[in-house]
């Protein structure tokens, strides 16, 4: 009996001691392994996919106890099964990345974070006193300040998808000079272009590096544009201008004219400062459809990496899907001055009511030319939201009757925000459009005459 009591007493002592040990061990682990992550000026492994809005640091508070309670109260710790804690799942996300390069780059960092958090959480969960402390006040919880929608929007993969729809999709306007991978030796129609490119590169070897803009894949192209921008010498216009998106070299160069030839018949080498010249000549126009989508993408990119989106309302719809279907307005009214930006929306029939759908299915934008024509390739409106982008899906305009609604920016609203959609105040008229088979390309454009535009009477 006595011995039994003794043994029990001893056991209690051992248990109590080991509990105290767990308590101090978790505090020690926190100090040694979690605080360095908190203090580090380098981004955590989350950056592999999240360009902004989340970082592992955001879940850490300077107090060991509060950090644990905060994770516990947010449901990120599994008290019974610490190894299955959600915070560890978040850290492990990077292992599943299909981008092998990115997976490798962040592997060491991820491993260190995972080991640190696993050991510390395990120690915390073994400390009954810590586990059962009362809940923290909601205002004391740690974690990203941004809502989940903003976090999802700031993912790299979403920006790449958007890049494909808004910039990569327009690359054939830069063919053949900046798209070496689109040149096909076996295509008879490419032969002259290939020959001319060879000749040009031989004549101007110093310009060869400036021609490689569109690389083999959208990802490589994007990386190139970002790297190029980081290396901008002082005074030059950056390829991607984070401060003023519409003043990016990527946009301004193709909107610049050819320089005058020198006396020896050669072109002077254009610089990267104003006044700009482009040896490719005018390839994009202020407020045309590619200009709009280029600027929209750069603006979104700048806002993401600048962590400037705070709420869901700040997010752009980012749902334009590029096509090669050309919509044309001819005989634009004389009262519209040349270069006025015009938006044309395509509305489909509402099958149930026989009327027109209030939401357009597609739009384009162009400017009034000296011959009073407006041209543009259609962008379809995809679904909104993070999983809505079907880039590769070929959109086709189904045969049928459509209504086009035309808006003219006579007050130059787009000057302030080139990505904006015009408002009912800018509405100038509508007309029906019958579509049989619509094929991509300029020669297959569908036209509506400005003379047929009517403004329906309000009922
Ligand atoms: C391999 C890519 C990848 C990595 C690395 C990654 N995440 Fe994510 N994360 C995602 C994806 C994909 C989503 C969007 C899930 C969805 O849309 O349902 C997401 C969404 C989120 C969300 C929003 C909540 C939600 O369910 O949508 C949070 C918070 C988050 N991640 C935190 C983190 C943290 C913290 C890290 C680093 C420890 C991290 N992520 C690392 C891919 C990743
Ligand atoms: C007919 C050939 C040609 C076409 C088409 C063309 N360019 Fe160029 N582009 C050039 C040449 C040559 C240069 C190098 C000399 C210069 O800076 O003007 C250049 C330079 C550039 C530069 C500067 C690159 C740097 O590193 O300084 C950008 C940006 C650019 N072009 C964008 C475009 C875009 C975008 C398009 C399509 C919308 C386009 N260009 C279409 C020939 C072309």
The pLDDT profile of the chain, 459 residues, written as one tens digit per residue, is: 556 655 555 555 455 555 566 678 999 999 999 999 999 999 999 999 999 999 999 999 999 999 999 999 999 999 999 999 999 999 999 999 888 888 999 999 999 999 999 999 999 999 999 999 999 999 999 999 999 999 999 999 999 999 999 999 999 999 999 999 999 999 999 999 999 999 999 999 999 999 999 999 999 999 999 999 999 999 999 999 999 999 999 999 999 999 999 999 999 999 999 999 999 999 999 999 999 999 999 999 999 999 999 999 999 999 999 999 999 999 999 999 999 999 999 999 998 999 999 999 999 999 999 999 999 999 999 875 444 444 445 678 889 999 999 999 989 999 999 999 999 999 999 999 999 999 999 999 999 999 999 999 876
Q: Is the CB of 142 under 6 A from ligand 1?
A: no
> Which among 226, 215, 224, 212 has a CA at the least distance from the CA of 178?
212
Produce one character per residue of 90-118: b if its CB has 16 or more CB atoms within 10 Å, e if not: bbeebeebeeeebeeebeebbebbbebbb
The closest residue, in CA terms, to atom 11 on ligand 1 is: 152
Residues 225/227/230/235 CA torsion (nearest 10 deg)? -50
- Residue 306 tokens read as 């600048």
pLDDT of 78: 98
What is the whole-number distance in angstroms between the Cα of residue 211 and the centre of ligand 2? 6
Query: What is the CB neighbour count within 10 angstroms for residue 353?
Result: 8
Query: What is the atom index within ligand 1 of the atom nearest the CA of 46?
Result: 37
> Which among 422, 431, 442, 263 has a CA at the least distance from the CA of 341?
422
Alpha carbon separation from 193 to 175, 176, 196, 213 (Å, rounded) = 9, 7, 5, 17
Q: How many residues does the chain have?
A: 459
The closest residue, in CA terms, to atom 18 on ligand 2 is: 278
- Residue 169 tokens read as 């999709």
Query: What is the CB neighbour count within 10 angstroms for residue 252?
Result: 18
pLDDT of 301: 98
Beta-carbon contacts of residue 304 (< 8 Å; ≥ 6 apart): 51, 52, 153, 154, 159
Q: Is the CB of 147 under 6 A from ligand 1?
A: no
pLDDT of 386: 42
Distance (Å, whole) CA 253 – CA 237: 10
- Residue 192 tokens read as 């002259």
For a substitution probing ligand 2, which of 209, 283, 292, 322 has the most ligand atoms within 8 Å of its CB? 283
Distance (Å, whole) CA 380 – CA 372: 25
pLDDT of 207: 96
Distance (Å, whole) CA 279 – CA 260: 10
- Residue 67 tokens read as 């950090």
pLDDT of 1: 57
Contact 164, 301 (CB under 8 A): no
Distance (Å, whole) CA 36 – CA 40: 6
Q: Is the CB of 46 under 6 A from ligand 1?
A: yes
| Residue whose structure tokens are 């990119």 | 301
- Residue 15 tokens read as 């248990």
Query: What is the CB neighbour count within 10 angstroms for residue 257?
Result: 12
Q: Could you tell me how far CA 54 lies from the centroid of its own chain?
A: 16
What is the whole-number distance in angstroms between the Cα of residue 251 and the centre of ligand 2? 10
Query: What is the atom index within ligand 1 of the atom nearest the CA of 151?
Result: 23
Distance (Å, whole) CA 238 – CA 229: 5
Query: What is the atom index within ligand 2 of the atom nearest the CA of 271?
Result: 17
Contact 359, 346 (CB under 8 A): no
Query: What is the atom index within ligand 1 of the atom nearest the CA of 102?
Result: 1
Distance (Å, whole) CA 320 – CA 325: 14
- Residue 159 tokens read as 């920006």
| Residue whose structure tokens are 């039994």 | 4
> Which among 171, 215, 176, 216 has a CA at the least distance from the CA of 197?
176
Q: Is the CB of 210 under 6 A from ligand 2?
A: yes
pLDDT of 396: 81
For a substitution probing ligand 2, which of 170, 172, 174 has the most ligand atoms within 8 Å of its CB? 174
């Amino acid at each position: 009996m006595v011995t039994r009591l003794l043994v029990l007493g001893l056991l209690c002592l051992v248990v109590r001691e080991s509990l105290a040990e767990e308590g101090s061990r978790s505090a020690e682990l926190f100090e040694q392994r979690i605080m360095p992550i908190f203090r580090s000026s380098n981004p955590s492994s989350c950056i592999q996919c999240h360009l902004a809005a989340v970082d592992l640091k955001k879940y850490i508070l300077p107090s060991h106890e509060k950090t644990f309670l905060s994770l516990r109260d947010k449901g990120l710790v599994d008290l019974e099964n610490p190894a299955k804690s959600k915070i560890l799942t978040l850290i492990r996300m990077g292992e599943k990345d299909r981008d092998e390069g990115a997976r490798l780059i962040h592997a060491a960092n991820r491993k260190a974070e995972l080991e640190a958090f696993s050991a510390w959480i395990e120690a915390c969960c073994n400390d009954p006193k810590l586990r059962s402390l009362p809940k923290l006040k909601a205002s004391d919880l740690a974690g990203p300040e941004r809502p989940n929608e903003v976090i999802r929007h700031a993912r790299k993969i979403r920006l790449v998808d958007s890049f494909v729809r808004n910039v990569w999709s327009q690359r054939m306007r830069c063919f053949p000079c900046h798209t070496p991978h689109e040149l096909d030796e076996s295509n008879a129609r490419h032969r002259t272009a290939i020959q001319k490119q060879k000749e040009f590169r031989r004549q101007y070897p110093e310009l060869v590096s400036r021609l490689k803009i569109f690389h083999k894949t959208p990802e490589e192209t994007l990386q190139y544009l970002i790297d190029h921008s980081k290396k901008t010498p002082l005074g030059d216009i950056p390829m991607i201008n984070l401060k003023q998106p519409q003043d990016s070299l990527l946009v301004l160069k193709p909107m610049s004219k050819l320089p005058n030839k020198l006396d020896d018949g050669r072109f002077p080498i254009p610089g990267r400062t104003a006044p700009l010249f482009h040896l490719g000549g005018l390839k994009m126009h202020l407020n045309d459809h590619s200009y709009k989508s280029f600027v929209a993408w750069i603006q979104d990119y700048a806002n993401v990496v600048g962590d400037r989106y705070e709420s869901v309302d700040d997010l752009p719809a980012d749902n334009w899907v590029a096509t090669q279907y050309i919509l044309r307005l001819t005989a634009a009214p004389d009262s519209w001055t040349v270069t006025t930006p015009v938006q044309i929306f395509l509305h489909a029939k509402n099958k149930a009511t026989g009327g027109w759908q209030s939401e357009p299915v597609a739009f384009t934008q162009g400017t009034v030319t000296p011959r009073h024509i407006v041209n543009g390739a259609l962008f379809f409106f995809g679904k909104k939201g993070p999983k809505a982008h079907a880039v590769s899906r070929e959109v086709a305009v189904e045969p049928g009757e459509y209504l086009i609604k035309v808006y003219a920016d006579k007050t130059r609203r787009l000057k302030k925000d080139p990505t904006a959609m015009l408002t009912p105040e800018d509405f100038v008229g509508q007309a029906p459009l019958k579509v049989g088979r619509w094929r991509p390309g300029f020669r297959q454009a569908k036209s509506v005459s400005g003379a047929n535009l009517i403004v329906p009477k309000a009922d």
